[in-house]
Amino acid sequence: MARRVRVATPEDAQAIRDIYAPFVEETAIAFRTDPPTTAAVADDIETTTETYPWLVVERIDEGSDPGSGSGTAPEPGSGTALEPGSGTALEPGSGTALEPGSGTVIGYAAANRLRGTGAYRWTVEPSVYVADGHRGSGVGSTLYAALLRVLRAQGFVNVYAVTTLPNPASVALHERFDFDPVGTFPAVGYKHGEWHDVRWWHRTLGDRPADPDPPVPFADLVGTAELRARLDPDGATGATGPTGSDDAIDSDGSTDQDDNP
């Protein structure tokens, strides 16, 4: 099965909402109690991508033209989760990494600010969710690897992720991507008749500069060769983790659910 990572657009809102809604309605993975409307997701994509990345993975169906048309959504109720991630390479001939195609959106990843005050501008919180039927096949790790490479290219330094517990798949994913657990909030959320712990995870995207430049807005990267390289797991360069190895960001594991309550 061919698939590709590309930049999300507001036209992907229905597909993304369909992936996210079951996490809200059926699980405690997301702490929201009502799923967002499609219009709200579209607005979030449009406003957030001025600064932060939203990415999707498309499954490219045999015989389709990946450079035309718009992504189709999974059927309602087929999803896994939205807020606040296994490194399978995109197959040759799967199209550009930027324009919507004729494939099916089967997962998405996004990042946003951790806090609104200025000193936090180099720190982000990620989100990665994968549609039901595609978990465990490498989609989530492909998304997470691409997201981390893009964030590093923008000049972000810290990534703090948060997961509801228990969630063995998400724990395994964060450990695979060299996140360290930095704290647990016990019984911080109540949903579906139970109290739930939340764990925070941290990793750096490189050295911490003594005098860092402001991160590059995501909108400034869209349409560039730099972004195409970061979205292609085989073509990215320089996206190193704390140890200076590309393997710190590119994972070939098959656990692919990240969640952000």
Burial class of residue 191 (count of CB atoms within 10 Å of its CB; 0-12, 13-18, 19+): middle
CA dist 151 and 123 (Å) reads: 10
∠ CA 211-216-222 to the nearest 5 degrees?
A: 165
pLDDT for 62 equals 63
pTM, two decimals, is: 0.79
Q: Which residue type does 30 have?
A: A
What does the pLDDT read at residue 243?
32
Are residues 144 and 172 in contact, defined by beta-carbon separation less than 8 angstroms?
no
Cα 163 to Cα 168: distance, rounded to the nearest angstrom: 10
Each residue of 113-150: pLDDT tens digit?
Answer: 999 999 999 999 999 999 987 777 788 999 999 999 99
**Is residue 206 scored above 80 in pLDDT?**
yes
Which CATH number is 2-248 given? 3.40.630.30
Quote the tokens at residue 24: 């809200």
**Residues forming a β-bridge with 152:** none
DSSP H/E element including 159: strand 158-165
Grouping H, G, I as helix, E, B as strand and the rest as coil, residue 169 is helix
Tell me the two tokens of residue 106.
């089967």
Q: Where are the domains of the chain?
A: 2-248
Secondary structure (DSSP) of 171-211: HHHHHHTT-EEEEEEEEEEEETTEEEEEEEEEEESS---SS
pLDDT in tens, 15-74: 999 999 999 999 999 999 999 999 999 999 999 999 999 999 998 876 555 444 434 333
Q: Which of 221, 65, 209 is nearest to 146 (CA)?
A: 221
Q: What gap in Å lies between CA 53 and CA 31, rounded to an integer?
A: 22
Task: Identify whether the C-beta of residue 83 lies closer than 8 Å to the C-beta of residue 261.
Answer: yes
Question: Percentage of the chain with pLDDT > 70?
Answer: 72
- Cβ–Cβ under 8 Å, residues 124 and 34: no
Cis ω on the peptide bond leading into residue 84 (within 30° of 0)? no
